Every structure is written in C-alpha cells, then in structure tokens.
Amino acid sequence: MIKLATRVGKVPPSITLAIAAKAKAMKTQGIDVCSFSAGEPDFDTPQHIKDAAKLALDSGKTKYGAASGEPKLREAIAKKLRNDNNLNYGPENVIVSNGGKHSLFNLMLALIETGDEVIIPAPYWLSYPEMVKLAAGTPVIVETTAETEYKITPQQLREAITPNTKLFVLNSPSNPTGTVYTPDEIKALAEVIIDHDLLVVSDEIYEKILYDGAEHISIGALGEEIFKRTIISNGFAKSYSMTGWRVGYLAGPTELIKATSIIQSHSTSNVCTFAQYGAIAALEDSQDCVQEMLTAFTQRRRVMVDRIQAMSKLSCSTPMGAFYVFVDISQTGMKSLEFSDALLEAEKVAVIPGIAFGADDCIRLSYATDLGTIEKGMARLEKFVKV
C-alpha cells in the first residue's frame, strides 16, 4: 500500500478536464455527444502561428532554452503589456510558463505557505482553490450571486480580510460566469487592496473576448500603489486558440518573478522552445485572427443564450466576456452533479456541474464550439428540461 502525501488527498482531480476527456472518449466510441465542457476554442491555431513554430523547429530551436522563457518572447510580452494594458513592465518582470494554469501554480508556490489566506470570489475557476491548498495555504471563498452579476463588492472583500490575508484573486472576464467588472468596480477593489496592503493576482486570460462594448481594464494600470501589488496571469490558449501549446505567462514585481523562475528552474525548465516562437508570432503579427474568432463567439453566444433564456426552468444572464454561459438550474429541483450526469446519460450533452466552481445550483456551458453542435445540444437540453 502506498502512503501518499497528505496534500494530494486534499485536492480532487480537475472536473473540467475529466468531463472533457469523458466526452471525447464517448465520441471516439461513435456516440454522438454535444460537448459544452472544457473552454477550448474549436478553431485550429492560426496558420501564421503554426508556420512560425515550424520554422523555429526546422532552424534548430530544439534545445534547452532559458528557464524563464526565450528573451525575445519575454520582450514581446512586456511590449504587449505596455501597449495593450498600460502596464509598465520590462522583460525582467515576465516569466513564460506551461500555460496560464502553470503560471498561477508557480505563483502560489512562490507566495503562499501555511497560515496564508487567499480570497477567491465564488463562482471561481475550479483550480484556484486547489492550487492554494497544494501550496499549503487556505482559500477563503466569498460567495457572490446573480443579483450582483456574480461580482464581489468592495465591502465583501473588506469583510473577508484577516491579518492572514495575503492575496486576492481577480478574474475578469470571468470563468465560469462571463462577468466583466467595470473600470469603476475594479478601481473600488483596488482601493481596498491598497488600504490593507494585499497582493492581487489578475487572471486576464479572457481579456480579448468581450461583447457589447464591454471594456477590459487591468487593475495594475490604475496607479503606482496598485501596480506594485499586482501580478498578471495570462496566456495564448484562449485568444489564439493555442490550448495544446501550453504557453502562458506571469508578470509582476521582479523579486517575485525571480522566485517563480527558481521554482521553474527546478521543476519544468523552459516551455517547449519552438512553441515559444509560435507565441512570438501570435503577439507580433496581425491580430485579425483574434477578431475573427470573436465574431464567431459573438454569434454562438447569442444563439445559446437566447435558447436557454427561452427555457422556463433555466435562467442565465448574458455573459459580457469569455465563452461560457452560467445557467441557474434551481427550478429543475436538481443539484448540479445530478443534473449534468443525467443530461449526459439521457441526452448525450456534456456540461460542467457548478459545484466545481462553488455554485451547486448552476451548470456551465462553453460555447467555444460550432453552431451546429450548439443548435443540436440546445434542442436536447430543451427536451431534457421539458422546456
């Protein structure tokens, strides 16, 4: 009998990955599944990005690189953060990791230890609390509701702070709710963070996926006091349809980036070298591909939201960003696991139960899939909830 480390026992596997894998396996068996599970854009990676990686591969970019990332990519990311987000970073403030998830995990390891509390508004992306636990910290979950558009208020943040609070996790646009905080709301949260001398990690992975004129503002851009307390997490997966490439990054104060670099130098070393050249092309070449994908997401969102809002037992608000619809299922009398298991079993529609995000009366559907699947899946969902 193997006695595993206690830290493993405290953390369940990622449900998003598990359900996505289950839906894929069912498809391989010839079952006609409509999968709205993982947030993975169905588009292929744009050709110019693939060409840049192929060129790098053919020109010998196949060796170990700097553990913190190719200097050219760190420079390109710093430039992007200056130009797009008004954040005054240099390459020394940037570390390239194996996707946004790995960037956040490195951050937790570098920052959090036993006794430290991390404030996470719920519904949250399911890996945040687990990463905090793996780093031996304590996640402090603050519930939000549809009435406040699933946004944490400055007062709620203030009330959750204790002498042990170290970090606040902000994710706008949000996974799983699609909520986007307004600049004024971000400003109000920044004031609380400064008052209590906390750090904030701003997960901006969905920053380019915005609808109906919603605006993304990076909390760190609001002034010097908040800038020095901010860490940015971002990556290439969602905006450039590069999920499998595993390229993400953190940006923040130099000493913190240095610390994550030490961790990375003993764990993964550099991100796949030629993949990083694809990422350079993603940032430096035309951004038309981002816009084209956004146009498709906009249309898919409309179709999915309209169909769900027409189902009397379900309710959802229209997401302002990302590519998820967060649906309240409380009128069905079922909790989220029961609902999603039964839906998959009866109608072959894969969704993520809200319990994974800290909201058991809800389910999450990703519309990063084709319109045909959305139409078919919505008809099945209507049948399941009997409209």
Residue 14 contacts ligand GLU per CB under 6 A: yes
> For ligand GLU, which stretch binds (CB under 6 A), given 9-17, 51-59, 260-268, 271-279?
9-17
Gap between the Cα atoms of 321 and 64, Å rounded: 37
Residue 307 contacts ligand GLU per CB under 6 A: no
Residue 175 contacts ligand GLU per CB under 6 A: yes
Q: Is 133 exposed, middle or buried (0-12, 13-18, 19+ CB in 10 A)?
A: middle
CB of 14 to ligand GLU, least distance (A): 5
Residue 17 contacts ligand GLU per CB under 6 A: yes
CB of 130 to ligand GLU, least distance (A): 10
Number of residues that bind ligand GLU (CB under 6 A): 9
Q: What is the DSSP letter of 248?
A: E
CB of 137 to ligand GLU, least distance (A): 20
Residue 101 contacts ligand GLU per CB under 6 A: yes
Q: Measured between alpha carbons, how far apart are the two ends of the chain, in Å? A: 50
Gap between the Cα atoms of 173 and 259, Å rounded: 28
> For ligand GLU, which stretch binds (CB under 6 A), given 12-20, 27-35, 79-87, 111-119?
12-20
Q: Are 220 and 256 in contact (CB under 8 A)?
A: no
Gap between the Cα atoms of 156 and 138, Å rounded: 18
Interface pick for ligand GLU out of 23, 36, 39, 283 (rule CB under 6 A): 39
Question: 366: alpha, beta or left, given left = phi > 0 and alpha = psi -120 to 50?
Answer: beta
Residue 247 contacts ligand GLU per CB under 6 A: no
Q: Are 333 and 290 in contact (CB under 8 A)?
A: no
Binding mask 121-140 for ligand GLU (x = CB under 6 A): ----x-x-------------
Residue 387 contacts ligand GLU per CB under 6 A: no
Gap between the Cα atoms of 304 and 323, Å rounded: 11
**Structure tokens that stand for 180 in this block:** 């986007």
Chain residues that interact with ligand GLU, rule: CB under 6 A: 14, 16-17, 38-39, 101, 125, 127, 175
